[in-house]
A and B are shown apart, each in its own frame.
Chain A
Amino acid sequence: GENVEQHPSTLSVQEGDSAVIKCTYSDSASNYFPWYKQELGKRPQLIIDIRSNVGEKKDQRIAVTLNKTAKHFSLHITETQPEDSAVYFCAAGYRDDKIIFGKGTRLHILP
């Protein structure tokens, strides 16, 4: 079935350190993998995405990697800052533009 697993559910890192969030998806036909950031009381916002014909994509302090064989993809945030504290969701795009979300990772940046 269509499923996205996300780990960890909670992550605390020291300011300035890196954070990594990992996801797996179930359907090998999935070809689109977005990441969303949701701050408290706000809407989820797209921060970066990757398509299945690309293995890695970087945007300033954020990078995503995709391993299609293993059906894994990851979000890497370097030099973390207090404003990075939020809930992060990975997602996978299935047929009919169906977007299935992981259960979220609550990221805490410690001073």
Chain B
Amino acid sequence: DTAVSQTPKYLVTQMGNDKSIKCEQNLGHDTMYWYKQDSKKFLKIMFSYNNKELIINETVPNRFSPKSPDKAHLNLHINSLELGDSAVYFCASSRGAPPRAFFGQGTRLTVV
């Protein structure tokens, strides 16, 4: 009964490949996010969706494409992976007012 779950937990892939990370929340929240945490532990927002609608799209390369089939799911697809994409990617969700965000367990992506 994990509140925010991501799969896979670990992902090792070669440069140039395309990969997806899935996220699901069972909290009934309306807003979902993707954050990237680099090797220095900085947490940077990438995207947010509210009720399947894209709300926030930070300056992220267009190789990254989020998709929200319904408000409980927000997946992240990455094309043409590069070495610099190696990081931990966290999905999160919040209800709003206030936006208390709950995080998934993270996906450690390693591009070789």
A residues near B (Cβ < 8 Å) are: 32, 34, 38, 42-46, 49, 51, 87, 89, 93, 96-101, 103-104, 106
Which residues of chain B from 94 to 110 have a CB within 8 Å of any chain A CB?
Answer: 94, 96, 98-106
Tell me if B48 is interfacial: C-beta within 8 Å of chain A.
Answer: yes
Set of chain B residues within 8 Å of A42, measured between Cβ atoms: 105
Q: Are A97 and B41 in contact (CB under 8 A)?
A: no
B residues near A (Cβ < 8 Å) are: 31, 33, 35, 40-45, 48, 50, 55-56, 90, 94, 96, 98-106
Set of chain A residues within 8 Å of B103, measured between Cβ atoms: 43-45
Q: Could you jot down 13 A-B contacts, CB within 8 Å?
A: A34-B100, A43-B105, A44-B103, A46-B100, A46-B102, A49-B98, A87-B41, A96-B56, A97-B50, A97-B55, A97-B99, A100-B45, A101-B44
Q: Are B43 and A43 in contact (CB under 8 A)?
A: no
Q: Are A32 and B43 in contact (CB under 8 A)?
A: no
Set of chain B residues within 8 Å of A97, measured between Cβ atoms: 31, 48, 50, 55, 94, 96, 99
* Interface SS majority for chain A: strand
Nearest A residue to B102 via CB reads: A46
Set of chain B residues within 8 Å of A103, measured between Cβ atoms: 40-42
Set of chain B residues within 8 Å of A104, measured between Cβ atoms: 41-43
